[in-house]
Amino acid sequence: MEGSLGFHFLTFLIIPLPNFFIFCTGHTDSEVRCIDTERRALLTFKQDLIDPSNRLSSWTVDGDCCHWVGVVCHNLTAHIHQLHLRSFPPVWDDSMTDEQYRAQDEAYERSKFGGKLNPSLLDLKHLNYFDLSFNNFSASPIPEFLGSMKSLTSLNLSNAGFVGRIPHQLGNLSNLLYLNLGSDDFSGLYVNNLRWLSGLPLLQHLAMSYVNLSKASDWLRVTDTLPSLFELRLSDCQLPFIPPTPTVNFSSLLTLDLSWNQFDNTLIPSWIFGLRNLVSLDLSGNNFQGPIPVDLQNTTSLRHLDLSGSNFNSSIPNWLYSFSRLEFLLLSSNNLRGTISSAIGNLTSAISIDLSFNELGGKLPRSLGSLCNLREIRLSFNKWSQEISEILESLSGCLSDRLEVLGLSDSQLHGHLKDELGLFKNLSKLYLQNNSISGPLPLSLGNLSSLTYLYLSDNQLEGTLPLSLGSLSSLIYLILSNNLFNGTVPQNFGQLSKLQVLHIESNMLEGVVSKSHFSNLTRLVAFSASGNRLTLNVSHDWTPPFQLFTLSLRSWNLGPEFPLWLCSQRILFYLDISSTQISDVIPPSFWNLSSQFSYLNLSHNQINGEIPNNPSILSTSIIDLSSNHFKGSLPYISSSVIVLDLSDNSFSKSISSFLCFKMNDSKSIGYLNLEKNNLSGKIPDCWMKWNSLVVLNLANNNFSGNFPASIGSLTLLKSLHLYNNKFSGNLPSSLRNCENLVIIDVAKNEFVGSIPSWIGHRFSSLMILILHSNNFHGHIPKELCALTSLQILDLSHNKLSGGEIPKEVTSLQELRSLNLSYNLLIGSIPENIGAMGSLESIDFSMNQLSGQIPSSMSSLTFLNHLNLSNNNLTRKIPLSTQLQSFNASDFIGNKLCGLPLSNNCTINDVNPDKENKGSEHNGGLEVDWFFVSMALGFVVGFWGVCGPLLLNKQWRIMYFQFLYHMGYKLKSLVLL
């Protein structure tokens, strides 16, 4: 609190300070002993409390209650005045490890009071201060009897776990100065109205954050009637709108927090800017629109302004730079555009400026460096397009020994980091990730002895990692990933004793890493160094000094033996040691730890042996064991697994035990990949409990038989891969229930029957349909042409016949690849095929298509693969840059001419007039008997052969059967 707000608030706190110090020191005046009725009231109150850590052990029957923990008595009357029964959540400290924080958090959870509040508290007639905050009275409403404790001036029930409707009886506490019913998260408290607040005329502080006030349409009218109110906090209260009341008093209001309510208001109501004494205004997270309101300049007393998370979509108005008293300016996430004016130098009191997550650009004004009180500058996620050295130079004046936080990540910065960086001696947090900063790291970086957070990832930094990094003894986070660093890892990294998070992945580091690199990293909890060419050289019995949460060493050399030191990591939940040249059997001690993982990736090694058949072992959410040499039966998995990839291994035998294990338990798995193993046999009808599956891949195995009907229970399925097995029978009709399918690939199986027409009706989102190399027969159903999202259609290598290629196929405007080759299709190529402008590949080869190539095909500008060979196509190939660019082999086996074929169509293109010059000389009466005899021969031959076939049905049937079988045999010979 600053200014008048700070004065009022401190005055309020100072009133009970003497008694508070008495409470903290654990004693009162030696002559004072508590009053017996009040002592008995506290003992009765204690009986209904749940006290898991026995915090109230001093509350005994024969004790002096004025000496009890949490009790403060008046030093003259001995009446109980205060009850301090709050619990204390851990507060994050940069020097604290995650493990230490967790330990404190666990201690806090154990220390919380619970149970219920006993009405015996009503016997404490002089109680004026009652704090029960940060406890756990879950599923319990706030007791109505608290409204009868008329002497209360301060009531704090924040974060205490109470739920339900706030009792209106609290409005009887007419002496109340301080009321906090808020929370840091969803509380479960609500009100129907706030009329009861009008009974609290002395109220100065009201906090109800996260209380559901969606029905309290009277919130502004009621709070405006509280003449002494100087602090109002109603963030995250689900308030629907701010009433546009023209006259609002709030004459004493110093702090107004209405953040994160998602108001329906388009603009900020003008009455807010009439609050001339307002010191702190927080309207963040409410999605106001339009420009920043000009009336805001009337609130000249502002010290703290937070308008972040709105949609102002304007430039920063110049009058905003005139707030010379403003200390905290927070305008992040607002779509602000334009530049920052040099007038920002007028904000001489500014301590923190946050303009991140906007569309600001240009250059940062040098006047920013003249704001000598600045401690934090957050300008990330903008478009500064400036050299980083220029920015640092402009800030290196009076800020060089004062600036603590500098955020410029995702800002399109470029250039080199130069030695001026070392001038910022008090810099604690530096965020420069995701820019285009290049060059080596300056040696002066080692001067930043206060640096705790250093983010330089996703740049173009190069060269070796300087030894000066090892002198940053305060570092907690060091993020250097996704750069171009080369050379070795300095051994003095091992001296960074406070380091908790180290990310150096995706660089070009190489060489050996030994135990000396980790010697003092006792606080390290996250180590990510994947994508480098590093070798870990430690002894077989090495025990690391750290306990990690996350470890990622992909592409390191850890093998050939399995790294046993991993078994010492008791809290590891993310592990990636894929592609690390391990060719060993996994020890049982590691499998015993695996249940603690949330992510486990051992893929692309040569790990062998069998996985123990214990579902508690494979209970990790995400498991990738692909591309190894695991063998034996598939292991049982826990219902908690979400992603499982066992592809490219040597698992064998049946899938039945794996699939049907614990059929009463529904599986959570969404991704299952068993591709490229030696699994065989029939698929059991056990898919009913796998209904969370989104991706199912059983390709490249030896499965056989009909696919079971229970596949229809996978209603969330989007991707189905059955490629290269021996499945037979029809596609199961129950598959039509899987309406979310995007990919169907059942190629290289032995499926039979016609292609189901319901595919076109049921799968409106289908993008890939691959049915090639099966035994489907019949015609191509026109219903497939309703699949408007289809991009790949492959029906090749089947026995499709009957109808032509459906003309409706040209409506598939998204289609990229169309393969109908190796079938028995007849008819012509659809004339309007040129309308399929997205086509990149067409294969109609090895069919019986006839007619000419449609001229519209020449307009397929994206076409890069075409095969029309071995059909009955005739006439000239249409002229276009596209079609003539293909090989002649793409057109052979037809009766075509023109480029790229060697037959240049000269015979077909001759002029009939020029061919009949002789007839012109004879008056046009000369008869060419060659053509006459050819015509007569054709007539005689046709009726000699076809006449009996037309007249005799039996002959006709036998003849066409003969032709069909001969044609099929000839085609088979050609294929062989």
Q: How does pLDDT run across 108-119, given as a tens digit for each residue? A: 888 999 999 999
**Model pTM score:** 0.80
Between residues 382 and 31, the one the model is more confident about: 382
Q: Which position has the higher pLDDT, 966 or 764?
A: 764
Q: What gap in Å lies between CA 682 and CA 147, rounded to an integer?
A: 71
Contacts of 688 (CB under 8 A, 6+ apart): 663, 710, 713
Sign of CA dihedral 658, 663, 665, 666: positive
Q: What was the pLDDT predicted at 963?
A: 41
| Residue 293's pLDDT band (cuts 50, 70, 90) | confident
Q: Between 956 and 686, whose confidence is greater?
A: 686
Rounded to whole angstroms, the Cα distance separating 499 from 95 reads: 9
Q: What percent of the chain has pLDDT over 90?
A: 72
Between these two residues, 124 and 312, which has the higher pLDDT value? 124
Per residue in 595-608, pLDDT (tens digit) is: 888 999 999 999 99
What letter does residue 300 receive in the DSSP assignment?
Answer: T
Q: Take residue 148 and report the two structure tokens written for it.
A: 């009868």
Q: Which of 163-177, 305-319, 408-422, 898-912 has the lowest mean pLDDT?
A: 898-912
For residues 576 and 553, the answer to whether their CB atoms sit within 8 Å is yes
Report residue 725's pLDDT band, with 50, 70 and 90 as the boundaries: very high
- The pLDDT of residue 732 is above 70: yes
Look at residue 542 and give its three-state secondary structure.
Answer: coil
Q: Calculate mean pLDDT across residues 528-533.
A: 96
pLDDT at 777: 95
Q: pLDDT grade, residue 368 (50/70/90)?
A: very high
Contact 434, 410 (CB under 8 A): yes
User: For residue range 553-575, what is the model confidence (pLDDT) as tens digits?
Assistant: 999 999 899 999 999 999 999 99
Q: Average of pLDDT values for 821-830?
A: 95
Q: What distance in Å separates the CA atoms of residue 391 and residue 715, rounded to the nearest whole number? A: 55
**Would you place residue 213 in the very low, low, confident or very high pLDDT band (cuts 50, 70, 90)?**
very high
Residue-wise pLDDT for 155-207, tens only, equals 999 999 999 999 999 999 999 999 999 998 888 899 999 999 999 999 999 99
pLDDT surpassing 50 at residue 966: no
Tell whether the model's pLDDT for residue 508 goes beyond 60.
yes
CA distance 825 to 221: 79
Range in 719-723, 842-846, 910-914 the model is least confident about: 910-914
Is 747 exposed, middle or buried (CB count within 10 Å of its CB: 0-12, 13-18, 19+)? buried
Output the pLDDT for position 871.
95
Of 23-32, 44-53, 139-148, 338-347, the poorest mean pLDDT is in 23-32
Work out the mean pLDDT of the chain and round it to a whole number: 87
Name, of 60-69, 746-755, 876-885, the range with top average pLDDT: 746-755
pLDDT of 958 over the 60 cut: no
The secondary structure of 310-332, three-state, reads CECCCCCCHHHHHCCCCCEEECC
Residue 568 has a pLDDT of 93
795 in Cβ contact with 822 (< 8 Å) = no
Strand partners, 114: 50
Give the model's confidence band at 310: pLDDT under 50 very low, under 70 low, under 90 confident, else very high.
confident
The answer to whether residues 305 and 278 touch, using CB atoms and an 8 Å cutoff, is no
What average pLDDT does this structure show over 366-394? 95
Burial of 923 (0-12, 13-18, 19+ CB in 10 A): exposed
Query: What percentage of the chain exceeds 70 in pLDDT?
Result: 89
For tokens 């890069």, what's the residue?
864
Helix/strand/coil for 494: helix
Please, are residues 71 and 54 in contact by the beta-carbon 8 Å criterion?
no
Q: pLDDT tens digit string along 30-82? A: 456 889 999 999 999 999 999 999 999 999 998 899 999 999 999 889 999 99
Q: Using CA atoms, how far apart are residues 66 and 171, in angstroms rounded to an integer?
A: 30
At residue 275, the pLDDT reads 87
What integer pLDDT is reported at residue 78 of this predicted model?
Answer: 92
Is the pLDDT confidence value at 765 over 90?
yes
Average pLDDT for 779-799: 95
Residue 973 CB contacts under 8 Å (≥ 6 apart), including other chains: none
**550-552/376-378 β-pairing:** unpaired
Alpha-carbon span 889 to 100, nearest angstrom: 72
Is a pLDDT exceeding 80 seen at residue 881? no
Helical packing angle, 953-975 and 929-951, nearest 10°: 110
Q: For residue 562, what pLDDT is reported?
A: 96
Average pLDDT over residues 505-521: 95
Note whether 592 and 615 are within 8 A (CB).
no
Task: Tell me, letter by letter, the H, E, C secondary structure of 88-153.
Answer: CCCCCCCCCCHHHHHHHHHHHHHHCCEECCCHHHHHCCCCCEEECCCCCCCCECCCHHHHHCCCCC
Does 964 score more than 60 pLDDT? no
For position 957, what pLDDT does the model report? 40
Alpha helices in 715-771 (DSSP H): 758-762
- Quote the tokens at residue 44: 């009765």
- Cross-strand partners of 80: 73
Query: What is the Cα 278 distance to its own chain's centre?
Result: 39
pLDDT band at 211 (very low <50, low <70, confident <90, very high): very high
pLDDT tens figures, 667-723: 899 999 999 999 999 999 999 999 999 999 999 999 999 999 999 999 999 999 999
φ, ψ of residue 701 to 5 degrees: the values are -130, -160
